[in-house]
Amino acid sequence: MSATSAHEHDLSHITPRDQAEILAQALPYIRKFHGKTLVIKYGGNAMTDPVLQQDFAEDIVLLKLVGMNPVVVHGGGPQIDAALAKIGKKGTFIQGMRVTDEETMDVVEWVLGGEVQQDIVGLINAAGGKAVGLTGRDGAMIRARKLKMLDKDDPAKEHDIGQVGEIESIDPSVVKALQDDAFIPVVSPIGFGERGESYNINADVVAAKLATVLGAEKLLMLTNIRGVLDKQGDLLAELTSRRVDELIADGTISGGMIPKIAGAIDAAKSGVKAVHIIDGRVPHALLLEILSDQAYGTMIRG
């Protein structure tokens, strides 16, 4: 049974009247977000499970067709690991960051800016959209510099993690030009330095910064968890920056969640109206978050 017919089968118990009611309920949200930019960080299971991939592509196309401007920023850690393993290279990490020498950077660029990006572009186009892949080099979009990583125990000591970058500036004009032409930009988190060198940048950070410079209405980050959870494992539906500081201090928020949340807070403080960390394992999570009053995941305000 194809994915489409499986989906159709699921709806057979809903009467036409109820279906119409469901569609009508989306109207206020379509009106509210019409013409607005939504930046979506795409990662986790939503990116690797074929059924969820199709749901994601359909959601993006639907949002574009009803007049919103989705911009996709993607990661690709597992795909990079798989490609490095193929050439017999073992990933090295310092304080959770991948050490990126020149050879690793070539692989990162080829995997993110090539394979992964084109897979996403293909999915969106197959669902009826017009996606265009970009890296930070295109339109001189993402200027970066080498990330200085200080030792967490001895701040006087600095680790060299190679071609890992932090964002110096983002020029969003290429994204705006594509949006105005009915295209859906798909951005790989690779920046370039003043000597033309490439930098691998955390995709959450790129999504947050891009949302800020585009003046996005929403930043939506797809993850593999229900949202931000408290110590008891219960979902925190809404967070402020002050509460986040407390949760980082007591260890509730740790590891890979820290850059995600830090980016979210920066975006919320810099004018992005709402930042949502949502569960990408839920089918059509994006549509449910944007077009219904069901709150999924955690919403962060500045």
Q: Label the pairing between strands 190-192 and 198-200.
A: antiparallel
* Identity at 183, one-letter amino acid code: F
All domains of the chain in start order, with CATH = 34-301 (3.40.1160.10)
Computed over its alpha carbons, how large is the radius of gyration of the chain? 19
Sheet of 142-146: strand order equals 165-170, 142-146, 190-192, 198-200
> Burial, 23: exposed, middle or buried (Cβ in 10 Å; 0-12, 13-18, 19+)?
exposed
Q: How many CB atoms lie within 10 A of CB 252?
A: 17
Annotated binding site: 76-77, 98, 200
Q: Under a CB-based contact definition with an 8 Å cutoff, are residues 129 and 66 in contact?
A: no
Full pLDDT tens readout for the chain, 302 residues: 444 444 444 667 889 898 898 889 999 999 999 999 999 999 887 888 999 999 999 999 999 999 999 999 999 988 999 999 999 998 788 887 889 999 999 999 999 999 999 999 999 999 999 999 999 999 999 999 999 988 888 888 999 999 999 999 999 999 999 998 899 999 999 999 999 999 999 999 999 999 999 999 999 999 888 888 888 888 898 988 888 888 888 888 887 788 788 888 989 989 899 999 999 999 999 999 999 887 778 999 87
C-alpha distance from residue 184 to each of 36, 224, 279 (Å): 13, 24, 22
| Dihedral (CA of 17, 23, 24, 26) sign | positive
- Residue stretches of the annotated binding site for substrate: 76-77, 98, 200
Backbone angles phi and psi of 220, in degrees to 5: -115, 125
